[in-house]
Amino acid sequence: MNANKEPLQESFNSDLARVDAHVIAETEYGELPELTEDMLARATLKKGGRPRLENPKKSISLRLSADVLEKWRATGPGWQTRMAQRLGEIS
């Protein structure tokens, strides 16, 4: 999250203050299942995020004349993708 922006007001109608204030009592521990070696052996680690691309894009710095850049931007959203496709056709 951008540090300069204020967070949006929560809109999921939950009483988070009450949930945060709850202290787990000893009697509630009985509701939790006992972890066994078998359970731990079946456990898998799931990493979040997107899978890695086979051919990831590289960031570069490219200097273009203002009129060229203006023409590409005038084609609307997705102009960078279209430019990359055109450049790919050259090679």
- pLDDT of 9 > 80? The answer is no
In whole angstroms, what is the distance from residue 33 CA to residue 36 CA?
Answer: 9
Q: Tell me the CB-side half-sphere exposure of residue 7, using CA atoms within 13 A.
A: 4
Would you kindly state where each structural domain of the chain is located, as residue ranges?
A: 62-91
In whole angstroms, what is the distance from residue 27 CA to residue 30 CA?
Answer: 6
C-alpha triplet 8, 12, 14: angle, nearest 5°: 115
Say how many Å lie between the first and final Cα of the chain, rounded: 39
Residue-wise pLDDT tens digits, 35-83 = 899 999 999 888 888 888 998 989 999 999 999 999 999 999 999 999 9
- pLDDT of 31 > 60? The answer is yes
Residue type, 53: L
